[in-house]
Amino acid sequence: MKNSKRSILAAGAAVLLVAGCSTHDKGPYLPEWPKTPAYETREPVVLLDPGVQYSVTYSGVQEQTLPDGRLQVVVHLRNRENRRIEVQANCVFKDQNGFLTGDETPFKMLILTENATEDAIFTSMNNLAKKFTVRVRQAR
C-alpha cells in the first residue's frame, strides 16, 4: 500500500514537473511599433483626446530661460468653437536629449471662452529642463 501511494505521488510530481516546465515561449522579441506616431517626442503641444483635437488649437509657444536657469513655457491655447469649453493642461519637462527630468507639472484647469485664446504658463522646478511637451486633455 505504501509503495503504491509513493509511486502515485512520484508519478503526479513528475507530471507536474514536466507540465510546469513546458513553455511555448520562443525566446526574445522585438518591440512593437505603436499605431500612432510618437508625437510627444517631436511636438511642443499634444492634444490627448478627439474632443480636444476638434475644439482646441494653439497659436504659439514661447519658452524662456529664467535667470536661475529654470525653463518657463507659455502656450497660447485657442478655442475653435462658438461655445465655452474647459480643458486641462500640463507640461512635461525634458533634458537636451529629450529624456524626462522627473519634472512634470500637475494638470491645471483652463476655461476657454468662445473663439478666445488663453495663455497657460508652466515653469520647471529645476535647471535641467531644456525641452518640453505641453499636454492638453478634456476636463472631466
pLDDT digits (tens, 9 = 90+) for 98-137: 889 889 999 999 999 999 999 999 999 999 999 999 999 9
- What domains appear along the chain, each with residue ranges and CATH number? 43-138 (2.60.40.3230)
- Of residues 75 and 4, more confidence is placed in 75
Cell numbers 525634458 label which residue? Answer: 94
Burial class (CB in 10 A: 0-12, 13-18, 19+), 46: middle
